[in-house]
Structure 1
Amino acid sequence: MAEPNLIYKITILELLHRSGFPLSNSQITDFFLEGDLTDYFTAQQAISDDEEAGLIFSKTNHNNTTYSITDDGVKTLELFKEKISPALSKDINKYLKVNSISMKEENSYKATYFKADRGGYVVQLRITENDVPTMDLSFHVGSKEQAETLCNNWKVRSDQVYEAVMDILMG
């Protein structure tokens, strides 16, 4: 039997490879916790180790970090794929089947902000569907607090904003 930490690292690669889209830290961690495979800290260490080794890369947008597998990660996965037992492979399939739609939705609402050259902040809000932008908005606001408020409210209210804008523009 392979070393557990190696299996966790390979499992993360397999999750990212099979999902076909970036997964958040919490989505990866949830797989391990829901399956009672390991604890939170061990899962975090495995994610960190994979990233440090260049097998996965992270992208952070305002309080949300998502991970994708790199080309080196795919090559490594091919070399160590047999370390994933049939039972673990089945668990990965089940987790992705049950959670795939909600995970895609969760990752399709993006909100970020940055300091504007001439003062204030630019807030970028986006809804994507299959990596195609459905709505893309940018705002200039005066303070970091306003920028954070817009970003924090985007996931909760983006559907309402989309409907309102469509109603106004189509009406």
Structure 2
Amino acid sequence: MSNGNKIAQDKLKLLYILNFINVPLTNIEITNFILDNNILDYFTLQGLLSDLCDSKFVVLNSKKGNEYYAISEAGIAALDMFGEILPEYFKNEVKQNLSYLKKEIKKHRELLGHYYKRKDD
């Protein structure tokens, strides 16, 4: 596989992950998942995220002091057109590992509280 094809496939992998999880992710969350599953190295990942943002396939939004990456409409369209390039083993790996990650992310972002009635008034 030529270097250009590898870069394109790696970008599609990132788009697939963002589309599958369907929850905006921080850079740390994306990085941890990618590195824990040996999908890309750190520097390649950061470069690809930057490229995807520059080309408007991924949007970076700020909320409550954190920045979150999410796939854009253009990214979804690109994934629809070229997603068949991704290997089936990769898709299966994402489905297995990302289901767990999605639950963990939601759990960490939820604010849980307990309250008790102290008096009738």
Class of the TM-score when normalised by the shorter of the 2 chains: 0.7 to 0.9
Q: Give the Cα separation in 1 of the matches to 2:7 and 2:32.
A: 17
Identity %: 23
What is the aligned partner in structure 2 of residue 30 from structure 1?
Answer: 32
Could you report, residue by residue, the CA deviation over 1:58-86 in whole angstroms, capped at 9, with x for unpaired residues?
Answer: 12235532111111111011111012101
| Structure with the larger RCO, 1 or 2 (CA within 8 Å, 6+ apart) | 2
Q: Tell me which residue corresponds to 1:40.
A: 42
- Structure with greater proportional strand content: 1
Unpaired runs of at least 5, structure 2: none
**Map of 1:99 onto structure 2:** 101
Provide the aligned C-alpha RMSD in A. 1.9
Letter of the structure 1 residue corresponding to residue 30 of structure 2: I
SS at structure 1 position matched to 2:67: strand
Give the TM-score of the pair, scaled to structure 2: 0.82
Q: What letter is aligned with 1:93?
A: K
Deviations 1:11-31 (A, max 9, x none): 111111111211221222223
Distance 2:49 2:42 in 1: 11
Aligned residues: 116
User: Residue 98 of structure 1 aligns to which amino acid in structure 2?
Assistant: Y
Match of 1:74 in 2: 76
* Matched residue type, 1:83: I
Gaps of 5+ in 1: 110-126, 128-158
Paired position in structure 1 for 2:60: 58
The structure richer in helix per residue is: 2
